[in-house]
Amino acid sequence: MQHGKVIAYASRQLKPYEMNYPTHDLKLAAVVFAFKIWRHYLYGELCDVFTDHKSLKYIFTQRELNMRQRRWLELLKDYDTNIQYHPGKANVVADALSRKSGMIAGIKVEEEIIRDLERLDIEHYVHGQHGYWASLRVEPDLISQIKEAQKEDSEIWTIVENLDEQTEFCLDEDDVLWQGTRLCVPNDATLREALLTEAHSSPFSVHPGSTKMYHDLKQHFWWSGLKRDVATFVSRCLICQQVKIEHQWASGFLQPLDIPVWKWDEISMDFVIGLPRTQR
């Protein structure tokens, strides 16, 4: 934060070896992570670090440190920083998701927004002069299109009419067809193409191969011929064809040519054509 305003947020998952860290090292690792990614903001500036781990406040004066802590302490000494203790209960901004309140939380909205919620059929209740959202469900636009397209797909309706014979399929409370936990995608070329493009070419997918892309998609979606469509889509991707190398077995060791027994013995012969004429 700077002048009471947030500049940036950052978070990441723990790496496998970090899961074995003690609490003190985990808290210190979070501080080191912040200094590394925000070095351009913090280097040469006076900054305060707020932590809910009280012993971290004395890291600069602590006598006994392990090798990992000493290494991190060398990094922290490059900065003009002051580590302050901030109790977790008071840190409601950072811990809002992990610390549940004892009462039901609501989002207070104004009168104009309440009227908009009524037009959208979003459930809410009014308390005094303010309104509170009781339930609100937001889902990606592509998923909504898939659910709407199910109503007009003949293949989907055939499965619905024979649900008693196909136990792996089921309908939810919105009459949307699922294959176990996977959403059934109707036979709509535009929708399937958009889904394949999102799974392959989006900034979060970074052009996976057909096998990985298929395993990623089949966790959430189902349609007949999914694996075939994924393989066809990946084979048509120009970026993959230009950038990715062909995976093949390494060639064997080079075999030396046989030693000629007599002059003019033919060992091997290569025909090379189309060479330019020399200047001589």
Higher pLDDT, 46 or 2: 46
Tens of pLDDT, residue by residue over 216-267, are 999 989 999 999 999 999 999 888 888 776 666 666 666 777 777 888 777 6
Tens of pLDDT, residue by residue over 83-111, are 988 877 666 555 544 544 444 344 455 56
What pLDDT, on the 0 to 100 scale, is given for residue 241? 82
What pLDDT, on the 0 to 100 scale, is given for residue 31? 92
Distance CA 144, CA 135 (A): 18
Helix and strand element counts for the chain (H, E): 10, 9
Structure tokens given for 18: 């970090």
What pLDDT, on the 0 to 100 scale, is given for residue 97? 47
What pLDDT, on the 0 to 100 scale, is given for residue 113? 64
The answer to whether 199 and 205 have CB atoms below 8 angstroms apart is yes
Spans of all domains in the chain: 16-85, 100-138, 141-243
What pLDDT, on the 0 to 100 scale, is given for residue 102? 41
What pLDDT, on the 0 to 100 scale, is given for residue 95? 52
**pLDDT, mean over the chain:** 79
Assigned fold of 141-243: Endonuclease III; domain 1 (1.10.340)
What is the three-class DSSP state of 140? coil
Diameter of the chain measured on Cα atoms: 110
What pLDDT, on the 0 to 100 scale, is given for residue 29? 92
Mean pLDDT of 124-143: 54
Amino acid residing at 228: R
Mean pLDDT of 160-173: 83
Please report where in the chains the tokens 């054509």 appear, as a residue. 273
What pLDDT, on the 0 to 100 scale, is given for residue 135? 47
